[in-house]
A and B are shown apart, each in its own frame.
Chain A
Amino acid sequence: MRLRSPKDFWAGLLFIGIAVLFMGFATQYRFGEAQRMGPGYFSIMVGAVLAGLGAIVAIRSLAIDGPPVERFVARPLLVTVAAIVLFGLALDHLGLAAAIAVLVIVSAFAEREVRIGTSVALAALLILFSVAAFVWVLGLPLQVWPEW
């Protein structure tokens, strides 16, 4: 057996995985009956449909040719996710200004060529703009500086 369409194969498995995960949780909820649907009723139904569709996608991928999975470039994705998480942590403990600085400077590492000077300047500019727009003009509840 040969994978003729790797992209579809993995997509099918992903669908089945998601379906199984949700259906697994849904068994803990009351299923009920058609007349009185419990919280598990619709979830199990949709999960079953998704699992079925996933199976079709995966099985078809053994028979029909399709594109390979493109190369996975780890750097932009991982740096981006890390930058967002650090933004959250910084915003929680240090306030908006620090959070923006962290986000901008960390995310610069998503590119191969990192220019720290540019990033610092951009961070300063974005802090200024965000504080002006979101805090002063729009009055959104944002903590700009750390609380001591």
Chain B
Amino acid sequence: METLHNLVFGMGVALSWQNIVYCFIGCVLGTLVGVLPGIGPVATVAMLLPFTFKLGPAPALIMLAGIYYGAQYGGSTTAILVNIPGESSSVVTTIDGYQMARRGRAGPALGIAAIGSFFAGCVATVVVALFAPPLAEVALKFSPVEYFSLMVFGLVAAIVLARGSLIKALAMVCVGLLLGMIGTDVNSGVIRFAFGAPELADGIGFVSLAMAFFGMTDVILNLENPEQKGVFAAAIGRVLPSLEDIRTSAWAILRGTGLGLILGILPGGGALLASFAAYMLEKKVAKPPRHFGEGDIRGVAAPESANNAGAQTSFIPMLTLGIPSNPTMALMIGALMIQGIAPGPQVMTERPDLFWGLIASMWVGNLMLLVLNLPLIGIWVRLLNVPYRLLFPSIYVFCCIGVYTVDTKIFDVYELAALTMLGYLFLKLDCESAPMILGFILGPMMEENLRRALMIAQGDASVFVTRPISASFLIAAVALLIAIAAPSLRAKREEVMTE
């Protein structure tokens, strides 16, 4: 009952007309930018951050959440219509979605994606409301010892579930941790790693880092390999799926939602893993006749529901533990910090308006996407035809203005230029950016918790293995590493990731 009471309280926050407007603007802007080819949700959120600076924490977070959902949905639209996944979590949607579009069924594909997402979003909202508070209460009892071990586990899990080489991902976490240490050390007041630039006393701005690694480098890569893909804009047809379509996909939506809910909570999992797993499951259990790969509507319904459910439950670790499970959540935490709020379990008790308002706005955002996207699909499609020649300078302009307006510091613009070069180098050497940004956000918190833990234990590091909760986190982390290093599992993981 308390949950219901809290949700009603949250609705009160989310449904204030001011917050509805921000949520709406967020959804529109998110979709608008997310539809543009080659811009993923991380870059979208980073680019649109400046729009939230002047708002209070609650409206800012609500608007960012709207942007995130919009960007997710925009990504699915390009996946279906152009065969370009706007982001990794809609990669599987391209398989059957694009085939449906080629067979003149783009409309129903987009429609079922929206309906599946909405259903998944509704369920996920309730799940977040039910499970976040107890988890936050447990987390409130954690001492720095448990916190440190939890962060180690979170980082390990995040890379295990990511793509690519494990060792390189671990190394990238370390790179992120080191970059996070640049600036003034809170304990001693010493300015570390400023490389002679006094401006670096405040550390590297996470907005410039995220934009350089997720926005600018992607654009540069696109400029290196110019290729055009055909847009099936002409034949969208009616957007509403037929009754039969809905009947066929009902189970797929349910299964996708269930999988997404669970996988979204896992660190590093989030939307990406959820959509892959849902598609694989559907291929195995869907009722024949199956036409996967040739435009089966269930091949769109399941992963789209799963990725939306996962996108939403990935807020749970962020809200309750202050630990990002993926780069987008890292951005959300960064946005909270800009607003002067330290993310963590105390947010729920200290800022209930923020906590419950955000949860309620998830549902509002999903509803908005449904009513916004289906009628407006024609406009989004037209955006797909904007030539890259016009697009990329516009992206540059928004990135540069965005970076500058965080602190109104010119130095941040130069920082963006430098980090862009670094990001490009990493990209060319197949080093993933996602683990780096997680390390960057968690770095200062890890150092602080380690310091406090060791101080309490009087320098005895064995405290991490003698405390049961802390020990179980560390054992889980080691087990994950061993499991993934084992040859058989490793082959399986690569198989799933490349498919």
Contact = CB atoms under 8 A, between A and B. Distances in A.
Interface of A: 7-8, 10-11, 14-15, 18-19, 22, 25-26, 29-30, 33-39, 41-43, 46-47, 49-50, 53-54, 56-57, 60, 67, 69-70, 72-73, 76-77, 80-81, 83-85, 87-88, 91-92, 96, 99-100, 103-104, 107-108, 110-111, 115, 118-119, 122-123, 126, 130, 134, 138-142
B459 A35 contact: yes
Nearest to B219: A80
Nearest to B455: A35
Interface in B298-346: none
17 contacts: A11-B168, A15-B175, A18-B175, A22-B181, A26-B192, A53-B167, A80-B420, A84-B413, A88-B410, A99-B400, A104-B393, A111-B223, A134-B50, A139-B54, A140-B50, A140-B405, A141-B405
B447 interface: yes
Q: Which are the 5 A-B pairs with shortest beta-carbon distances? A: A35-B459, A88-B413, A34-B459, A50-B174, A76-B223
Contact of B450 (A8, A42, A72, A83): A42
A57 B337 CA distance: 35
Contacts of B188: 29-30, 38-39
B167 A56 contact: yes
Nearest to B431: A11
Nearest to B405: A140
A70 B168 contact: no
A75 to B, nearest CB: 8
Contacts of A25: 192-193, 195
B429 A43 contact: no
Given A37-B450, A84-B396, A104-B393, A15 B171 contact: yes
A134 B50 CA distance: 9
Interface string B415-448: 0110011001110111100000000000000110
Of the four ranges (under 10, 10 to 19, 20 to 34, 35 or more), the interface on chain B belongs to 35 or more
B137 interface: no
A136 to B, nearest CB: 13
Contacts of B459: 33-35
Given A57-B171, A130-B397, A34 B414 contact: no
B187 interface: yes
Interface in B158-192: 165, 167-168, 170-171, 174-175, 177-178, 181, 185, 187-188, 190, 192
Given A103-B400, A107-B396, A140-B50, 10 more contacts: A29-B192, A35-B454, A57-B167, A81-B420, A85-B413, A85-B417, A96-B401, A107-B393, A123-B393, A134-B50
Nearest to B460: A34
B165 A8 contact: yes
Contacts of B190: 29-30, 39
B104 to A, nearest CB: 34
Interface of B: 50-51, 53-54, 165, 167-168, 170-171, 174-175, 177-178, 181, 185, 187-188, 190, 192-193, 195, 216, 219-220, 223-224, 226, 389-390, 392-394, 396-397, 400-401, 404-405, 408, 410, 413-414, 416-417, 420-421, 424-426, 428-431, 446-447, 450-451, 454-455, 458-461
Contacts of A96: 401
Given A118-B390, A139-B54, A34 B181 contact: no
B455 A36 contact: yes
Contacts of B455: 35-37
Contacts of B174: 15, 19, 46-47, 49-50, 53
Contact of A50 (B171, B220, B447, B458): B171
Given A8-B165, A33-B459, A43-B192, A77 B424 contact: yes
B429 A138 contact: no
Contact of A53 (B171, B185, B192, B417): B171
B397 A92 contact: no
Contacts of A37: 187, 447, 450-451, 454-455
Contact of A80 (B195, B216, B389): B216
Given A7-B429, A50-B175, A80-B420, A39 B192 contact: yes
A81 B417 contact: yes
Given A37-B454, A138-B50, A77 B430 contact: no
